[in-house]
Amino acid sequence: MVIESWIKTITSILKGNFEILAKKRIKRKPLIKGLDERAYISYALNYVPKMMSSAFDSKELLDIVIRMFTEIGEVEKCSIMLINEETKKLEIKVVMDKGVIEYPKIELEIDYGLPGEVIKKGTPYFINYLNEDNTEFIYKHTGDGLEEEIDSLMCVPLVGKRGIIGVVNTYNRINNRGFTQEDVNIMSTLAHQAAVSFENAHLYELATIDGLTKLYIHRYFQIRLAEEMARSRRYKNNLSIFIADVDYLNKFNETYGREQGDIVLAETGDVIRKWLRKDIDIPCRYGGEEFAVILPETDTSNAFFVAERLRREVEEHKFPGVERILRVTISIGLTSLLPNSDLTKESLIRQAEDALAMAKGSGRNKVCVNV
């Protein structure tokens, strides 16, 4: 029964149901000694890296990696720290404690404590059964808020193609089992795969994400719009897009400086991301002070509801200013592609731009539709 259960677990995972690992621990108690253990390790070293390589969203990848280390390492707690290339500091990106994941956003000096030593030397470190001689050292040097309940610890460097990019910390082996050198070898192999995946995700973001607003770039918008239009026609689904323009952004730049204008654009990007469907809607920076959003499987009336809600949220948002909280509004031009329409991509965009011009020409801070 143990082998059958394991096969079912593997099958579910390979279908993409990785969440099963968070809900049910895999027990290493094989009917035939060594068989289940070898199958587990073989899976870990061959299939999990493939799952990591398919994830390009940083938060999704962090979630996959921390669950992987927690479950394969059979530990209660885990944390991932990555080096920020701009600040040259060590950021605690994600922490998992007994199944609960948090994203603390804490920065440490790159030479901080045990993680700093592992980064400096480039070699893993593990310790079992902490005693009075080493407990104080570990408590003072792990740095991610998990110190108070540590009885065993492993810190492994994340070594990618460009060198060390961070560390993975695992704590408290299940059933009081200490870490072994074999565990270090397995976790180091997985850490390398994770590091390469983090590097790939970072390169993907640099190529597709606007640095200021954290939305997709204009070229990505053009590519995805063509794809969504083809999908809309193939499956006879509705498709809507809208283009939004920050009202009077030039006045913000002239009055408060370009830095204030950048803050307005970045904050607007945050509001847009917050009020759209994750992994469905496609928010982009269209250019300058303009944003574009693709709404798959959304008709005109529902798209208008989304656009109007977004307009209202921006109007009510408290934009941080140099001297005081600022009031910002946006104008929005909306259009839709009907399932049987023969509109080209360029024509659809032109309709949205015309609708935006109507919104700006009739007083701004409103949504206009052009279908």
In a domain, 40, yes or no: yes
Let me know whether 312 and 247 are in one domain: yes
Domain of residue 334, CATH code: 3.30.70.270
In a domain, 210, yes or no: no
Please count the structural domains in the chain.
Answer: 3
Let me know whether 20 and 125 are in one domain: no
Given this model, what pLDDT does residue 358 score?
Answer: 97
Q: What is the pLDDT of residues 58-84, one digit of tens each?
A: 778 888 899 989 988 889 899 999 999
Neighbours of 320 (CB within 10 A): 11
Let me know whether 237 and 261 are in one domain: yes
Q: Tell me how far apart the alpha carbons of residues 178 and 41 are, in angstroms, rounded to a whole number.
A: 18
* Residue 216 half-sphere exposure toward CB, CA atoms < 13 A: 17
Output the CA angle 281-287-291, nearest 5 degrees.
30
The stretch 115-123 carries a mean pLDDT of 92
Let me know whether 222 and 362 are in one domain: yes
Q: What is the pLDDT of residues 272-296, one digit of tens each?
A: 999 999 889 999 999 999 999 999 9
Let me know whether 136 and 181 are in one domain: yes
Let me know whether 299 and 344 are in one domain: yes
Directed axis angle between helix 35-46 and helix 58-72, to 10°? 160
Residue 301 per-residue DSSP state: H
Directed axis angle between helix 218-235 and helix 345-361, to 10°? 110
Domain of residue 98, CATH code: 3.30.450.40
Bridge partner list, 334: 242, 369
Q: For residue 243, what is the enclosing H or E element?
A: strand 239-246
Given this model, what pLDDT does residue 44 score?
Answer: 58
Q: Domain residues for 183?
A: 57-205
Q: Looking at 71, 74, 91, 289, which residue is catalytic?
A: 289
The stretch 43-66 carries a mean pLDDT of 69
For the chain, count helices (H), then strands (E): 13, 12
Bridge partner list, 84: 89
Q: What is the pLDDT of residues 150-169, one digit of tens each?
A: 778 899 999 999 899 999 99
Let me know whether 37 and 86 are in one domain: no
In a domain, 51, yes or no: no
Output the CA angle 125-126-130, nearest 5 degrees.
135
Short-list 33, 39, 94, CA closest to 67: 94
Let me know whether 144 and 271 are in one domain: no
Given this model, what pLDDT does residue 279 score?
Answer: 80
Let me know whether 184 and 251 are in one domain: no
Given this model, what pLDDT does residue 349 score?
Answer: 97
289 part of the active site = yes
Let me know whether 76 and 9 are in one domain: no
